[in-house]
Structure 1
Amino acid sequence: MPEQPGPRTLDLPGGAVTLAGALDVERTATGFVPRRLPAWTRPRITDPYMRLMVPRPAGVRLVLRTDADALELDVFVTRFRNAHFPLFPVEFDAVVGGTRVVSRPARRGDLCVVRAGEVAGTEPGEPETIRFDGLGTGWKDVEVWLPQAAVVELRALRADGTVTPGRPPRRKWVHYGSSISHCAEAGGPTRTWPARVARSAGLDLTSLAFAGNCHLDPFVARTIRDLPADVITLKVAVNVQNLDSLKVRTFGPVLHGFLDTVRDGHPHTPLLVVSPIFCPTAEHRAGPTVQDATGRYVAKGDTSPSALSLVRMRELIEEVVAVRADGDPRLAYLDGRSLFGAADAGDLYDGLHPNADGYRRIGERFHERVFGPSGLWPQPGSTPE
């Protein structure tokens, strides 16, 4: 009998595979690392913690169409664990035919321990192969979602069948946010709330969610301005409170400036501004908000009426949107507490971040209020997950 051909190695990036959700790639000696901001932003990123966030591929996926029953992805994964808590699952998810999700863990790469936004130590690891098998031999669409809270160096992709480029959904959604949108604790890349919403609404997600680093940076506004988008959402302010990086005097003008830049490129695109979800320690107190000895986040700042607490920030965000609304009918505001409020506080595992169940509810509520059949901007074919 003739010898059966072995798996084919495919070119990455490009070739027969579409890389969705990434705006840049960093070449290495052994592969490449997807990045979520364009190359021109690199010298503008001055904060070390932000440099750690841009290559963490939330929303980044390999999109292909194939008749292969098995795919193998050679990777080197850098995982990150908060010094106060166990490592959250680091998973690769293959979405097959738009519905079936096959998850595979990453276990062998570097493990970095993070304390106060800095890497305090690293346990070196090794490369590994992530294998998805039993996909079925018929033609189907496959998306391989990369771990949202790790850094992934992609080295090779092999398939035991034919592969052609996949097509992400036609309508494009750009979302900007903090760790509450980055969702390190969600359990897997398709279980972050933006990923859940994008899949339910049939949208091509570009996630600009940067844990600890949603500070209304001008280079992010310019990035959004220049991206194709059918809808844009901005979930802002909690990181400003966390680091006490702006004051009442400056927060409103900075938000106006961010919106001005986005509107320069998208004068009529639906644009939603979402205020922070509920956070007990920061509702009536300014930042900084820091971890105590147990790992819980505690706000340490001022409680006066002039303090930039979450209550005050929601008022300022709503005022900014209201002032602009007369001349901008496609601009809207959503109170973040409608997504996760005081009744949900039991799912804040560290006093600030939701657990996996909390993120699932945020996704369900966001979909219903924004993209669902009775939402702000219903999407064709949108169905609850």
Structure 2
Amino acid sequence: MTELVTTPLTPAMLRGALHIEATADGLLPRRLPPHAIAQAHDDHLALMASQSAGVRLALRGAATVLELDVLATRTVQRGAVAGPAGRYDLLVDGRLVARAAPSGGAVVTVDPVTRAVAYASGTPGTVRFAGLPAREKDIEIWLPQTEATHLRALRADTSVRPAPESGRRVWLHHGSSISHGVQIASPTQTWPAIAAARAGVELINLGLNGNALLDPFTARAIRAAAADLISVKVGINLVNTDLMRRRALTPAVHGFLDTVREGHPDTPLLVVSPIHSPLVEDAPGPTAPDPDAPVPRFRTFGDPADLATGRLSLRVIRDDLSRIVTERAATDPRLYYLDGRDLYGERDFADLPLPDLLHPDAGGHALIGERFARAAFAAGGPFAPC
């Protein structure tokens, strides 16, 4: 067996993270900076920001064998059984060639109602890829989108180095668990990863499961990030959490967009409303797992009569987002709106139902990713090349 050479892991090898922390367990990529996480004062948000949606190692070299030592932390809902270890997707020159999962790992348990988290220690594991073409090439290892991954060591049969910057445009997307890809088996199958691949752009995925809540610290993180294209998909988590009333929604959206515009005054900025979800189209939240359902699914505890008092449904949110963008676009010509039902609508629910009534499956993600790529990146779209 060929002896493998250890290559030091460095932040320069990572794409898609806004912060990379050196810890005793290795490099930990985070998708929000520490000061933003601190301002949330919420363990659930900290956990979601540490999960690696869209984060990947970007390498260059002629290696035919790669080994990556990791300490991966899986998330388990309280009372549920832990699923399989997350997958690592290997791309060579932009093409998926292999998937693998490590042994070992740690577990964090999340209470779906209180959002409380409890960590349990675990053991490191190794992801191994072999049989790569013996030539100089670009190599990407996409980390599991629903796990926090400490990167401990990298080995190869010949030296590898950080990939040079691609020169492609950087697309930063912020959204909910749907953008995060919490129901998807591997990281390149989430809809933002699919759309980015179709469009040939570099992805920063700020999909934060349960935390697309118009938080000011998230807007400030986007303001400070280097991005050529920005999209913000908002609405479903506001209903899920029953966070605010209609009176608060409009100023919160304006404030979020104002903050983003401070750092990106001329960047194409696309506001995306929620996809179709019959559970809360015309009913408010909060939503929670249904304890009486025979399969995992959600229910709403909101009363549609309360919409008259200012509580939010998806239809209400779409109306307000459309109005806000129309008003702002009069003085902001690079601000755009996309109705989420153009990505996944009522007819799509009949063909590709949401298994738990909130989250699309792999087929739904593929549909959304393809449609977003056409709507946003194709000729005439807000992100079309100039």
Q: TM-score, normalised by structure 2?
A: 0.92
Partner of 2:102: 106
Distance 2:103 2:159 in 1: 29
> Residue 197 of structure 1: CA displacement?
1.1
Distance 1:204 1:137, change over 3 A: same
> 1:197 is matched by which residue type in structure 2?
A
Distance 1:5 1:189 in 2: 30
SS at match of 2:284: coil
Partner of 2:30: 35
Distance 1:328 1:236 in 2: 19
Distance 1:88 1:283 in 2: 33
Q: How many residues align?
A: 375
2:332 corresponds to which of 328, 331, 335: 328
Partner of 1:77: 72
Distance 1:307 1:43, change over 3 A: closer
Q: Write out aligned runs for 1:178-217 (5 A).
A: 178-217=176-215
Partner of 2:301: 300
Alpha-carbon contact 2:244-2:311 (below 8 Å) kept: no
1:149 corresponds to which of 146, 155, 175: 146
Distance 1:227 1:324 in 2: 22
Partner of 2:345: 341
- Larger displacement relative to structure 2 (149-158 or 291-300): 291-300
Alignment of 1:356 with 2:362, yes or no, is: yes
> Residue 136 of structure 1: CA displacement?
1.3
> Residue 347 of structure 1: CA displacement?
2.7
Distance 2:280 2:381 in 1: 29
SS at match of 1:278: coil
Distance 1:378 1:12, change over 3 A: same
- Larger displacement relative to structure 2 (332-341 or 81-90): 81-90
> Residue 81 of structure 1: CA displacement?
3.0
Alpha-carbon contact 2:7-2:159 (below 8 Å) kept: no
Distance 2:228 2:187 in 1: 23
Distance 1:123 1:45, change over 3 A: closer
> Residue 49 of structure 1: CA displacement?
1.0
Distance 2:129 2:74 in 1: 21
Distance 1:5 1:308 in 2: 61
Alpha-carbon contact 2:103-2:126 (below 8 Å) kept: no
Alignment of 1:164 with 2:161, yes or no, is: yes
Q: Write out aligned runs for 1:1-385 (5 A).
A: 6-14=3-11, 18-82=13-77, 83=79, 87=83, 90-116=86-112, 118=115, 125-170=122-167, 171-293=169-291, 294=293, 295-303=296-304, 304-305=307-308, 306-345=310-349, 346-373=352-379, 375-379=381-385
User: How big is the alpha-carbon RMSD for the aligned residues of Structure 1 and Structure 2?
Assistant: 2.0
> 2:346 is matched by which residue type in structure 1?
A
Alpha-carbon contact 1:88-1:187 (below 8 Å) kept: no
SS at match of 2:59: strand
Distance 2:257 2:110 in 1: 33
Distance 1:292 1:273, change over 3 A: same
> 2:140 is matched by which residue type in structure 1?
E
Distance 1:347 1:57 in 2: 27
Alpha-carbon contact 2:25-2:71 (below 8 Å) kept: no
Distance 1:324 1:374, change over 3 A: closer
SS at match of 2:50: coil
> Residue 113 of structure 1: CA displacement?
4.1
- Structure 1 gap segments, 5+ residues each: 381-385
- Larger displacement relative to structure 2 (334-343 or 106-115): 106-115
> Residue 230 of structure 1: CA displacement?
1.0
- Larger displacement relative to structure 2 (122-131 or 347-356): 122-131
Alpha-carbon contact 2:198-2:370 (below 8 Å) kept: no
What is the identity percentage for the equivalent residue pairs of Structure 1 and Structure 2?
44
SS at match of 1:375: coil
SS at match of 1:102: strand
> 2:23 is matched by which residue type in structure 1?
T
Distance 2:211 2:80 in 1: 20
Partner of 1:383: none
What does the per-residue CA deviation read over 1:210-252, in whole Å, with 9 as the maximum and x for residues that have no partner?
0001101111111111112111000011101100111100011
